[in-house]
Amino acid sequence: GAPRRAAASRVLAAITPPKSHTEPAAAASPPANPGLRPVSDAAANSQKALAQLQALGGTNRYASEPKSSIVSLGLSVHNTPVEIREKLAMSSDQWSKAIAELTSYPHIEEAAVLSTCNRMEVYVVALSWHRGVREVEHWMTTRSGMELEDLRQYLFLLRDRNATNHLLRVAGGLESLVLGEGQILAQVKSVYQEGQNAAGFGRHMNGLFKAAVTAGKRVRSETTIASGAVSVSSAAAELCQMKLPSGDYNDANIMIVGAGTMSKLLVKHLASKGCSKVTLVNRSMGSAEALAAEFPEMTFDIKLSPDLLAATAEADVVFTASSSDEPLLTKENMAALPAASDKVGGVRRLFDIAVPRNITSDVDEVEGNKVFNVDDLKEVVDKNKEARQQAAREAEALLEEELLGFEAWRDSLETVPTIKKLRTKAESIRTAELEKAIGRLGDGLTKKQRKTVEELTKGIVNKLLHGPMQALRSDGDDPAAVSETLVNMHALERMFSLQGEEKGAG
């Protein structure tokens, strides 16, 4: 009736992304205004998920959802500026806490969080997908401190097949700013590994991220997408070389802040491009020395964090890749520093590849300083993109195979409740009929005779159920076999009236 339609309209209004996220055509062609960020495939596919919700209309929504949904909401570099992404960014040691928070909501059974410098994506298994979306949005606004309306214009929303396909594409490097970059696969693998210790990272999330890791490995081993592909760190090194007047790192004093994975990759790419000396600033001496030991061909001048400003004053190029939650370089402290050397035209170039950012954007306002962040790497991306397009098309076919495999595995899980219901119903009938028979026989049966009769009834039931049970079992590896199993499942549910059993139990 009207109240139900009104309720459905309110739900739609609450989770509908902006128009640019619900028009597939936007993903296929560049925006008319070159100043606008392109819409990702994930955003374009959001319309499909929303259309499914709208189609539920005035029907009983729970009855329309035979199984829980895999839902993904997120932000990516393709359509969200870094100042928004960093409000939700989190380090890997916070993932378990985030999973616990998400699964504390009533309609979220499982959860996973993928947070990198280029994306922040939440994956959940939701009992009711539209309620699950609302709960993820609530968690995001609570964590970021942003108003829902301000956040929603950047969010993409994907469900089931689209959500699964998106994660496989992410792991394969097809959604990366730098097409085919390898670091994202390691990050997806980290989510899978961290999830093993999180209670809310359940069977579906485990299977989903395991499939994503497998897909990512196949894309890189069976296509040429990784040939010449670069990570964010490599793109930053290349952009720096493009911006230096001479194009030679050795004409500049190079400084790196942080000694983690990003910095290690950065040093690797700087060394490959001929850089022979860097200043390395880090919070601990041990991590910095360990990094330096891996590159004996380079000269390192290691300094600790208290010397950051003094080291920056002597640097012509600064790369920041620290995990600090607070900015390290600001307009105020940079304004007091001398200009860079004449070899680089008196301009200090700062490349901030950390999320949250290590350098405030207003440092750009200080004369003689130019700041670049991860969003500025598109200049490098555009230069390298064309060479990897063919490999990306080859990767699509591989990802489709992995997608079908995961869906078959997930569909195979549907038969588990039917198996349980069938066994429960059979056992209920067996025990009821056995008690009737024992009652008619009176007290004349010995314990041994009673046990013999009971074992007889169990044997009959087990033999009768053997065929149906075999028809319901599938390992999920063969999509065709799974489809046949699901047909058998629906047939058995009708034959034994198991749908009624489920409703009665619920």
Q: Mind telling me the catalytic residues? A: 117
How far is the C-alpha of 324 from the C-alpha of 283, rounded, in Å?
Answer: 10
Cβ neighbours, 10 Å, residue 60? 9
Contact between 34 and 127 (Cβ < 8 Å)? no
Q: Minimal CA–CA distance to 215: which of 400, 385, 71, 394? A: 400
Return contacts of 36-39, CB within 8 angstroms, 24+ apart. 37/78, 37/79, 37/80, 37/81, 38/78, 38/79, 39/78, 39/79
Strand 108-115 relative to strand 119-126: parallel, antiparallel, unpaired? antiparallel
Token code pair at residue 466: 């053997």
How far is the C-alpha of 112 from the C-alpha of 99, rounded, in Å?
Answer: 6
Tell me the CB-side half-sphere exposure of residue 336, using CA atoms within 13 A: 6
Token code pair at residue 282: 């880090």
C-alpha dist (Å) from residue 11 to 49, 141, 160, 212: 13, 17, 19, 31
Strands (E), 229-368: 254-257, 277-282, 299-304, 317-320, 348-352
Exposed/middle/buried for 116, CB within 10 Å: 0-12, 13-18, 19+?
buried
How far is the C-alpha of 36 from the C-alpha of 18, rounded, in Å?
Answer: 14
How far is the C-alpha of 355 from the C-alpha of 373, rounded, in Å?
Answer: 9
Q: Over the range 479-506, which residues count as b (16 or more CB within 10 Å of their CB) and which as e?
A: beebeebbebbeebbeebebeebeeeee
How far is the C-alpha of 447 from the C-alpha of 453, rounded, in Å?
Answer: 10
Contact between 247 and 303 (Cβ < 8 Å)? no
Kind plus residue range of the DSSP H or E element containing 413: none
Sequence letter at residue 246:
S
